[in-house]
Amino acid sequence: MAAALAGSGIPTHPVDVGALVELDVGAPAGGGGSVARAPDGRVVFVRHAVPGERVVARITAATARYLRADAVDILAASPDRVQAPCRFAGPGRCGGCDWQHIDIDAQRRMKEQLAGSHLAHLAGIHQRVVVERVAGDVGGLEWRTRVRFAADGSGRLGFHRHRSHAVEVVDQCPVAVPEVSATGVVGARWPGATSVEVHAGSVSPNRGETRSSATVVARRRGHGGPVRPVAETGLALAPPLPPPPGSVFREVAGRWYRVGAGVFWQAHRGAPAALVGAVLRGLGPRPGERAVDLYAGVGLFSGALATAVGPTGSVLAVEGGKAACADARWNLRDLPQTSVARATIDAGWVGRSMGPVDLVVLDPPRRGAGPELVRALCRARPRAVAYVSCDPAPFARDLRAFLDAGMAIASLRAFDIFPMTEHVELVAILEAPGRGTA
C-alpha cells in the first residue's frame, strides 16, 4: 500500500487504534457510519459524524483494509447536525441509535442514498426510492413498542455499547413508546438476568377492551426459575396479562392480532398498518384469488389478504416458528378461507407444497429470501409478488434474481420505521409480464 501511495502527497505511516486523525466525511455507509479516507489511504467508517463534515476521529478498530472510528470533535459541522435527544447517545455510549445527532429529514435522505447505492451496485437498478414517513412517532421518537434491555452483572438495565458486550446503563429510552417506560422496569434491578424484554400492546379485545398493557419477559444466565426484579424506585409492572401468558394484542386495519412473547412483530407502532397498506395497494388482490404468505409470522398480511380475496379465494400462511403459528391460527380463526402451515421455507418446499398461486407475500428475515427461493417462486408463475425487506443489500440481490427470472418491478417503496438508525423497510411489487394488477 505504501508503494502505491508514494508521491501522492498522502502520508503513508499506518494509523493505529487509539490514534486521533482529521477526516473529511463522505457518503453514509452500512453499519451506521459514513465513509472517510485515513492518512494512510485506508477507508474509515466513521460513527457520530454527518456527511460533509470535517471531524477529529478516534480510531476504534483496524484491519488491513479498513478502519473504524468515532467522531470526537467536530471541526466543521453540517447544517443537518442536531443535538441528540438522548443523553446516552454518543461515542462510547449506547449503541442502539446510530443517527440521533442528525436531523430527521436528513436521515431519510441518507437512507434513500444507501438504498439507491445497493440497488445500483447489486441489482443494476438505477431508481430513486423515496423514504416515506410512517405515522406513529414524534419527530423520530416514541415509536418502539418492543424494547430488549440488556442487564449488566449487577442486574441494572441498559443497552450494549457499539460492538461491545459492555452495558450502558440507562434510566429511560426516548425512542420507546411511553407504555414501555410506564412499566418501571428500568427502575429495578434484575439479579441473574441477561436481558429484559418489554412489549407494549393492548389488553385482550374480547370484551371491547383497548386498555394499554405490556409484557415483561426476563431471561437469566444459566438455568433456573424466573428472574424476579428488586425494586429500587417504585416498580409499576403491567396489570395481569391475558392468556396465554406473555401475549399482547395489536389492532391493524380493523383486525386484532395476538402476539406472544418472543414472537416477531414490527417494533414501530405505525409500521404494521403502513406495510399492510403498501402490500394491498401494490398487489391489488381480487376476489377468488389464491395467495400465499411466506414467513407469515402471526398472520398480519394473511388477515388483510383473506378479507380482500373473499370467501371464494384462499390464503395459505406459512411460518416456521411454532409459537407464531399458534398465534396465526388464533388470529385467522374467523376466516375459513385461510390455513396455516408450519414449514421450513425453501425452494424445495415451494416446489413440493405450494402449488398454483396468484399472489405471494414474501417477508423473510434480514438475510433475505435468497436467489434459489426466488427462482422457485417464479417457476410457480404468480401474477404478482410483494417482497418486504429490512435490509437493502439482500433486498437488491433478490430483486436481481426476480428480474433475471422474468418478473418486472411495478413499484418500489421505502418506509422509515426505524428512525434514528440507518435501517429502512423496503417493499417491492413484482409482476409477471401480462399478469399485472391492472
Taking a C-beta distance cutoff of 8 angstroms, is the pair 277, 238 a contact? no
Taking a C-beta distance cutoff of 8 angstroms, is the pair 159, 95 a contact? yes
Taking a C-beta distance cutoff of 8 angstroms, is the pair 436, 384 a contact? yes
Which residue, chain included where needed, has cell 455507509?
29
- Name the β-bridge partners of 138: 141
Active site includes 390?
yes
Task: Strands of 355-417 (E only): list them.
Answer: 359-362, 384-389, 408-416
DSSP string for 128-158: --PEEE-SS-BTTBS-BSEEEEEE-TTS-EE
* Alpha carbon distance 104, 44 (integer Å): 24
| The pairing of beta strand 146-151 with beta strand 157-160 | antiparallel
* Alpha carbon distance 316, 180 (integer Å): 34
Taking a C-beta distance cutoff of 8 angstroms, is the pair 291, 383 a contact? no
DSSP string for 53-96: -EEEEEEEEE-SSEEEEEEEEEEE--TTB---S-TT-STTSB-S
Point out the catalytic residue in the list 94, 173, 378, 390.
390
* Alpha carbon distance 335, 166 (integer Å): 47
Taking a C-beta distance cutoff of 8 angstroms, is the pair 53, 78 a contact? yes
**Hey, CA dihedral for 142, 31, 50, 125, is it positive or negative?**
negative
Question: Can you give 210-252 as a three-state secondary structure string?
Answer: CCEEEEEEEEECCCCCCCCCEECCCCCCCCCCCCCCCCEEEEE
Known catalytic residues are 390
